[in-house]
Amino acid sequence: MNWTYSPEDRVKTISVFLRKRAPKTYYDFSFEMPNIEDLCMRSNYLGAVVALDYGFWRLEKGKLNIDYYLWHGTQLKGANFLWTKSKSKLSEDPTFFTAERLANLTKEDFQDWLKDDSGNIPFKDPNRRYSLILDFGRKLSKVESLQKAYQNAEGNLESLIYFMEGFHAYSDFPFFKKAHLLCKIMERIGQWKMVESNDFKKLPPIDYHLMNIAWKLGIVVLPPPTEQKLANYELLTSNHEFLIRFRCAEAYQRLASQSGLDPYMIDDIMWMESRKNCQKEPYSCTDCLFDTVCSKNKTGFPLIETFRY
């Protein structure tokens, strides 16, 4: 196969491929979901955990290392640890995720929520995360729950996204990663139905994984200095990060349009394939959905210290 291409050609190729090979079922978030019927409490729980879902990795000696944490003797990958602990907290304390409780959370309560088997919070940035959850609770108190915010917005995607942009943990203009992720979860579990407009449509939540696989599949092309940073596992500056995410946003919008797939479904596919097969060397190319349409000529990963994803 000739791997000389333009990103537009690659979008067309991947669009045709996905129309034929896209999974028939998608992630249902049953792992993250607690057994709770209260729609307001459920929305607050999901919103609070998404607010803290970022940065479970470390850069050590020029290599990417993924964090695992110990809970009840079991090693859990970073995000899995966060969701497992949070679901357990809600089960043992059903009012923990009310806006009032989150707004007045003590450091002791925060540590009890997220400690590992050693009794400590194991991941980086605990003070920032504590600050983010306080801000989330205090601002959420104005409407009591994210479910009420959704009802006030009458399901309008743009209105709801900009409401969530007011939370410091969710501030991510113009990509709105965490806000789109939460809307995706709420749609997937059947609690919300987002109303798009011609001027404001769904966008896959663009994080490390969506940048990584877009670059490796060639649906985005990066300037050589930026590409070199990915190849060398160097931390990106905010300017490099913005450039990559902006080009990804354009590419994923074209991919959604040409494939006919919901952008949140595209996120499922791209995120899972990157996380399972293409995050850390050696890659598992033969296990990847895109094995036959990927050039396999790039190694590296986009890294930036951020609370946005």
82-92 pLDDT tens trace = 999 999 999 99
The pLDDT score that the predictor gives to residue 4 is 54
CA dihedral of 181, 185, 190, 194, whole degrees rounded to 10: 0
Q: Provide φ and ψ at 141, rounded to 5°.
A: -60, -25
Task: Indicate the pLDDT class of residue 2, thresholds 50, 70 and 90.
Answer: very low
Q: Are 222 and 230 in contact (CB under 8 A)?
A: yes
pLDDT tens-digit profile of 115-156? 999 999 999 999 999 999 999 999 999 999 999 999 999 999
Q: Which of 11-15, 34-38, 103-107, 206-210 has the lowest mean pLDDT?
A: 34-38
175 three-class SS: coil
User: In the chain, which residues fall in CATH 1.10.1670?
Assistant: 7-27+200-293
Sign of the CA dihedral running 277, 185, 183, 51 = negative
Cβ count near 287 (within 10 Å):
11
Q: Which one is predicted more confidently, 1 or 254?
A: 254
pLDDT, mean over the chain:
95
Q: What is the residue type of 194? A: M
Say if strands 63-66 and 68-71 run parallel, antiparallel, or are unpaired: unpaired
Q: Provide φ and ψ at 92, rounded to 5°.
A: -85, -20
Using the predicted structure, report yes or no on whether residue 3 has a pLDDT greater than 80: no
The pLDDT score that the predictor gives to residue 64 is 86
Question: What single-letter DSSP state applies at residue 170?
Answer: G
Q: Which one is predicted more confidently, 280 or 255?
A: 255
* Domain at 7-27+200-293: CATH architecture: Orthogonal Bundle (1.10)
Cβ count near 131 (within 10 Å):
14
Using the predicted structure, report yes or no on whether residue 219 has a pLDDT greater than 80: yes
pLDDT tens-digit profile of 34-89? 989 999 999 999 999 999 999 999 888 778 889 999 999 999 999 999 999 999 99
Element (H, E) at 71: strand 68-71
pLDDT tens-digit profile of 256-287? 999 999 999 999 999 999 999 999 889 999 99
pLDDT tens-digit profile of 105-114? 999 999 999 9
The pLDDT score that the predictor gives to residue 60 is 84
The pLDDT score that the predictor gives to residue 195 is 98
